[in-house]
Amino acid sequence: MCLTSIENQGQILQLITYICLFYSTVDSCVGNNNNTVPVLPQRNSLTLPCTAESSKVSKIPNKMEVLNDPGSPETYKEILKRKGINSQVKEVQIKIPSLVGDQFASQCKVVKVIFSDENLPPLDFFVKVAAANKEFADQMSDVLMFEKESLYFSTLLPEIQEFLEAQPGYDGFLKGLVPKCYYSSDQFIVFENLLSDGYVMLNKIDRHDLHTTKLVLKQLARFHGGTITFLQSIGEEKFLNKYSLVASKSVWSEEGEIVNGTWTQNAVDGAIKILSSKPTLGSDKALNFFKKFEKRGFLRLCSQYRYDNQACSLSINHGDVWNGNLMFQRNTETKKPETCLLIDLQTIHLGSPALDLVFYIFGAVDSELRWKQWRSLLRIYYDDLEDVVTQKLGKKLKFSFEDLVSDFCSKSETGFFFGMYAIFGFEALSDAGDVVNSGGNAMENLSIAISSYLDKVMEQKGTIFSEKIVRAYEEFLDISAGKSI
**What is the dihedral sign for C-alpha 59, 9, 164, 384?**
negative
Specify which residues 188 forms β-bridges with.
Answer: 129
For residue 431, what is the DSSP state? Answer: T
CA 113 – CA 93 distance, rounded (Å): 6
Contact by Cβ (8 Å): 79, 70: no
Supply the pLDDT for residue 103: 52
Pairing of strands 181-185, 123-129: unpaired
φ/ψ region of 249 (left if φ > 0, alpha if ψ in -120 to 50, else beta) reads left
Supply the pLDDT for residue 435: 63
Amino acid at 272: I
Burial of 226-247, coded b for 16+ CB within 10 Å and e otherwise, reads bbbbbbbbeeeeebbeebbbbb
- CA distances to 43, 137, 145, 294, 450 from 265, rounded to whole Å, are 39, 20, 20, 7, 11
Residue 377: which residues within 8 A CB-CB, separation 6 or more? 213, 217, 361, 365, 369, 370
Supply the pLDDT for residue 15: 37
Contact by Cβ (8 Å): 111, 124: yes
- pLDDT one-digit tens code per residue, 280-302: 999 999 999 999 999 888 998 98
Supply the pLDDT for residue 99: 58
CA 335 – CA 330 distance, rounded (Å): 5
Domain ranges of the chain: 9-165, 200-480
Amino acid at 281: L
- pLDDT one-digit tens code per residue, 286-345: 999 999 999 888 998 988 888 888 999 999 999 999 999 999 999 999 999 999 999 999
Supply the pLDDT for residue 50: 53
**Which residue, 220, 219, 243, is CA-closest to 154?**
243
- How many other CB atoms are there within 10 angstroms of residue 63's CB atom? 7
Low-confidence residues of the chain, pLDDT below 70? Answer: 1-65, 99-105, 132-133, 432-439
Supply the pLDDT for residue 250: 81
- CA distances to 189, 201, 330, 331, 414 from 334, rounded to whole Å, are 34, 17, 8, 5, 35
Transcribe 390-413 into DSSP letters. IIIT-----S-HHHHHHHHHHTHH
Supply the pLDDT for residue 286: 98
Supply the pLDDT for residue 383: 98
Using alpha carbons only, give the angle 412, 414, 420 rounded to the nearest 5 degrees. 105
Q: What is the pTM of this model?
A: 0.84
Supply the pLDDT for residue 259: 82
